């Protein structure tokens, strides 16, 4: 990958993918390709975004396609393809349907963009990220999942709302799987450097942690049809940007563990340094007993599903 990357592909032109592509275009990333099995869907959204460039003052090539050969030379590929959650569904209910889609997408990426870094968004996130790495055979550091940024953003919003302060001043940290077993870490959450434990009562923090873990389900219930897309799409764009321009941001992402935090052969959310090569480094936080136990329990949950449902 060159020092300044110029091309990113978003696979899946639904709400999440289109939001991601739009944010990337608005942030003047460079060439953006939007790929979908429904070519007109991808081309129409790409054209709409291109026309919006004059209004919002961004200028870059945005194209839509269904042809995988058009993803050639992509530096980063964001995968959002898959079925969204509906009311009453868990992320895990999507495993079978979305695993088949990820297999097809992964083979296309392997053939036409073998040097790309893949950012996974398809749910259930941690399982689909593992499945994508197995499908492509890419090095683990070049396949990474978007979840912790979204979950941390949700926690950040709830904290700012409770305190009555700006989102910009809150730094939250959420680890673990992207689901009910996620692990919000109040001890690593601050408001402009002030520990949140000094600003909110324990019961308020506990309520916020619960709401964070169920943040996606809350939106699914409110929408009645479909699931969240503005925040997930934006979070994926931020990851792509950090990789494309080697910003080496420290972000919570679903990454492959090989002994870190006492877990092996699993993708799960932990802090990483995200740069040109994907996951440049995994950061191991000093966790207290109950925090580490919760994180490992989250890992055990997904490890079991990898074995029972996907056969790994």
Tell me the per-residue pLDDT of 217-239, one tens digit each, with 9 for 90 and over: 999 999 998 899 999 999 999 99
Map out the domains of the chain as residue ranges. 7-145, 148-308
Query: Model confidence at 1, in pLDDT bands (50, 70, 90)?
Result: very low
Summarize pLDDT for 28-82 with one digit per residue, the tens.
988 999 999 999 999 999 999 999 999 999 988 999 999 999 999 999 999 999 9
Rounded mean pLDDT, 237-264: 97
Res. 120: pLDDT tops 70: yes
pLDDT of the residue at 225? 86
Q: Is 288 left (phi over 0), alpha (psi -120 to 50) or beta?
A: beta
CA dist 98 and 238 (Å) reads 24
On the question of a common fold for 7-145 and 148-308, the answer reads no
Alpha carbons 256 and 253: distance in angstroms, whole number: 10
Count CB neighbours of 88 within 10 A: 9
pLDDT at position 170 is 97
Give the helix ranges, DSSP H, for the chain: 15-26, 39-56, 95-112, 125-136, 148-163, 202-213, 215-223, 230-244, 289-308
User: How much of the chain exceeds pLDDT 70, in percent?
Assistant: 98
Q: Are 287 and 295 in contact (CB under 8 A)?
A: yes
Which segment of 227-236, 272-281, 299-308 scores lowest on mean pLDDT?
299-308
* Mean pLDDT in residue range 263-271: 96
Is residue 5's pLDDT more than 70?
Answer: no
pLDDT classification of 242: cutoffs 50, 70, 90: very high
The answer on pLDDT for 310 being more than 60 is: yes
CATH of domain 148-308: 3.90.110.10
Give residue 4's pLDDT band: very low, low, confident or very high (50, 70, 90).
low
Per-position DSSP letters for 48-83, written without gaps between them: HHHHHHHHHT----EEEES-GGGGTT-SEEEE--SP
- 7-145: CATH architecture: 3-Layer(aba) Sandwich (3.40)
The mean pLDDT of the chain is: 94
Question: In the chain, what is the greatest distance between 2 CA atoms, to the nearest angstrom?
Answer: 55
Mean predicted confidence (pLDDT) in 114-137: 96
Characterize the bridge pairing of strands 194-195 and 190-191. antiparallel
Residue 109: pLDDT band with limits 50, 70, 90: very high
Mean pLDDT of 110-126: 96
Enumerate residues 6+ apart whose C-beta is below 8 A from 246.
3, 275, 276
Q: Catalytic site residues?
A: 178
The answer to whether residue 122 scores a pLDDT higher than 60 is yes
Which pLDDT belongs to residue 91? Answer: 65
């Amino acid at each position: 990958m060159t020092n300044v990357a110029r091309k990113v592909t978003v696979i899946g032109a639904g709400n999440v993918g289109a939001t991601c592509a739009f944010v990337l275009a608005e942030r003047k990333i460079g060439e953006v390709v939007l790929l979908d099995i429904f070519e007109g869907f991808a081309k129409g959204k790409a054209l709409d975004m291109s026309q919006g460039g004059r209004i919002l003052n961004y200028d870059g090539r945005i194209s839509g396609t269904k042809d995988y050969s058009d993803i050639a030379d992509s530096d980063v590929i964001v995968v959002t393809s898959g079925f969204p959650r509906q009311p009453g569904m868990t992320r895990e209910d999507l495993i079978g349907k979305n695993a088949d889609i990820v297999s097809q997408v992964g083979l296309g990426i392997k053939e036409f963009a073998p040097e790309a870094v893949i950012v996974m968004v398809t749910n259930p996130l941690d399982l689909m990220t593992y499945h994508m790495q197995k499908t492509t055979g890419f090095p683990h550091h070049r396949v990474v999942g978007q979840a912790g940024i979204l979950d941390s953003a949700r926690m950040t919003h709830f904290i700012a709302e409770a305190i009555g302060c700006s989102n910009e001043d809150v730094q939250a940290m959420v680890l673990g799987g992207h689901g009910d077993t996620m692990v919000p870490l109040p001890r690593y959450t601050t408001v402009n450097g002030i520990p949140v434990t000094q600003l909110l009562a324990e019961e308020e923090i506990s309520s916020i942690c619960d709401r964070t873990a169920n943040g996606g389900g809350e939106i699914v219930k409110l929408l009645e049809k479909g699931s969240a897309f503005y925040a997930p799409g934006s979070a994926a764009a931020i990851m792509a940007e950090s990789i494309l321009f080697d910003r080496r941001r420290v972000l919570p992402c679903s990454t492959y563990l090989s002994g870190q935090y006492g877990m092996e052969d699993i993708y799960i959310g932990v802090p990483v340094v995200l740069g040109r090569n994907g996951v440049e480094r995994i950061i191991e936080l000093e966790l207290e007993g109950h925090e580490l136990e919760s994180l490992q329990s989250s890992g055990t949950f997904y490890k079991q599903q990898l074995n029972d449902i996907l056969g790994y």
